[in-house]
A = this chain, B = another copy of it.
Amino acid sequence: MTSHTRISIIDFSENAIQEYKPGEDEAIPVQEGLRWVNVEGLGDMQQLEKLSTVFGLHHLVMEDVLNTAHRPKIEDYEDYLFVVMKLFHYDNKSENLQEEQLSFILGSGLVISFLENANDLFNPIKDHLAAGKGRLRRRGEGFLAHALMDCVIDRYFLLLETVGDRIEHLQERVAGNPTPDVMIAIQNLRREVFFIRKALWPMREIASFFEKDDSPLLSDTIRPYFRDLHDHIIQLMDMLESYREILSDMVEIYLSSVSNRTNEIMKVLTIIATIFIPLTFITGIYGMNFVHMPELAWHWGYPLIWLVMFSVAAYMLNLFRRRKWF
C-alpha cells in the first residue's frame, strides 16, 4: 500500500465537465451536477476521514475500504450502495500474482471510487467523460458505476489471457521430458486460478444485484448493461473452470509420464541384466580351476561356449521382443 492518497473530483452534466484535485488541506468544493470522486492510494488517513465526513459514510464502510483483505461484496446502506471488488496483475519482477482491492460507493448523483494503489485503471473512463459525447455524460451515476465495473472486468479478460499463455507454455513442458519443477509450476498456476476464481465468484452476485435490484439509483434502461456484465463474468468463470480442468489433467499427465519413465528405465536395466548375468555365469564356470574339467581341454570347447552364449542371448532378446519391450 502506498502511503499517499490522490483525490480527483469530477463534476459533470450533459453539457459541462469540471475536474478538481484538492490538496491535502483544501476543502472539497460544492457539487455541481453528477459527481465522481476517484481516490487513488489509501495511505493518508486524514484525507480519507475528511471525505468520509463530507459524504456522510458509515464508519464500517471506511473500515472495509481500508481493510484490503476483503472479499468482493455489495452492501446496501439505504442512502448508498457499497461495492468491494478485486483486481489481479502479474508483478513484472517476481512473476507473482498481485491482488489489489477496489471499492466504490454509488449514492444519489454521486460515485466515490477507492483504489488501493495509485494507477491509471480508470483513465479511459476519464478520457471518455472528457470527450463528452458518450452515454456516460447524459445518463447518470448508474452508468458511471457500470463503466467502472466494466473497466475492472476488461482487466480480468486480459489477466486470463496471460494465464492461458502460461498454461500453454506449461503444456509444452509437460509433453516433453518433465522435471519436478514443472509439477510445482502447475500447482502454482492452479492456486492462482483458484484465487482468481474466488475473487470473481462474488462479483457475479454484485452484477446480478445491479441487474435485479429495484433501487431508485438504478433506472430500467441500465439493466441490460448489467445483464451483459453478468454474462461477461460467467464467461470468465467458464474460462477459469476450463483452466482448472486442463491444469488438473496436466497433473495426471505429469504423474503418468513419470511412471512411464520409471518403466522405461526398468526395461533397459532388465534387458541388459537378464542377458549378461547368465552369460557371465557361463564364463564363471570355465574360469574355475578344477583339475578335472574335461571341456577345457576340448579342441572346439572355446568356440562351442561362444555358440552357447549367443544362443542364450538370442533367446532372451527374442523373449523381450515378443513381450513388446522394445
Contact = CB atoms under 8 A, between A and B. Distances in A.
Contacts of A228: 60, 63-64
Interface stretch (A23-31, A89-97, A111-119, A259-267): A259-267
Contact of A324 (B177, B184, B272, B299): B177
A227 B246 CA distance: 34
A216 interface: no
Interface string A273-308: 110111111011111111111011111011001000
Interface of A: 58, 60, 63-64, 69-71, 73, 75, 77, 175, 177, 180, 183-184, 187, 190-191, 194-195, 198, 224-225, 227-228, 231, 234-235, 238, 241-242, 245-246, 249, 251-270, 272-274, 276-281, 283-293, 295-299, 301-302, 305, 323-325
Given A265-B266, A265-B270, A276-B277, 19 more contacts: A175-B184, A177-B324, A180-B257, A183-B253, A191-B245, A194-B242, A198-B242, A251-B252, A256-B258, A264-B323, A269-B273, A273-B273, A273-B274, A277-B280, A280-B281, A290-B295, A290-B298, A291-B297, A292-B301
30 contacts: A60-B225, A63-B228, A64-B231, A71-B238, A180-B257, A183-B256, A191-B245, A191-B246, A255-B259, A258-B259, A258-B263, A261-B263, A265-B270, A266-B270, A268-B274, A269-B273, A272-B277, A273-B273, A276-B277, A276-B281, A277-B277, A280-B280, A283-B285, A283-B287, A288-B296, A288-B302, A288-B305, A290-B302, A291-B301, A292-B298
